[in-house]
Amino acid sequence: MMKYVSGFQKLIIKAIILMMVVVILSSTLEIGWIILSDLIKPPVVFLNVEKVLDIFGLFFLVLIGIELLETIKMIINESTLNVDVIILVGITAIVRKVMIIDLKTTPPLFLVGMGVLVIALAGAYYLINRSGKEFRCELK
C-alpha cells in the first residue's frame, strides 16, 4: 500500500513541477510584455513610479516561483525539506508585499503585523543558521 502512496506522491510532485514551470514561464513572458508595451507608450521610454512598483512586484513573484520550484526539486532529489529554505521563501514573499504596499491606504495595524512577521522570520532564520544544525523534514 505504501508503495502506491509513494508513487502517487511522486506523480503529484511531478505534476506540480510542470505547472510551476508553465506559471513561471508565463509570468516571465507577461513581465516582458508589460515592460515592452509600457516603454513604447507615450511618453516613450518612461515608466511612472506605480508601474515600476508593479513590475518589481511581478519580478518578486517570479523569484518566489523559482524558489518554490527549487524546493520541490529538493523534495524529489533528497526526499527532505530544509526548513531554512522555506523560511527564505517566506521572507522573499514578505519583501515582495512590503515593496508593493501603498502606505497611504494601508491600515497601521497591518504594517505592525508585517513588521512582526519580518522580525519573526528573520529571527528564526538567524537562529537556525547560528545553531549550525540542519533542520530537515524527512519525507518518506
Question: Which cell numbers hold the place of 47?
Answer: 515608466
Residue at 105: amino acid letter: T
Chain segment 104-132, per-residue pLDDT in tens:
899 999 989 999 999 999 999 999 888 87
Question: Which cell numbers hold the place of 96?
Answer: 515582495
Task: Read off the pTM.
Answer: 0.69
Residue 131's nearest CA partner among 139, 123, 140, 119 is 123
- Rounded Cα distance between 24 and 31, Å, is 11
Chain segment 14-30, per-residue pLDDT in tens:
898 899 999 999 999 99
What's the chain's length in residues? Answer: 140
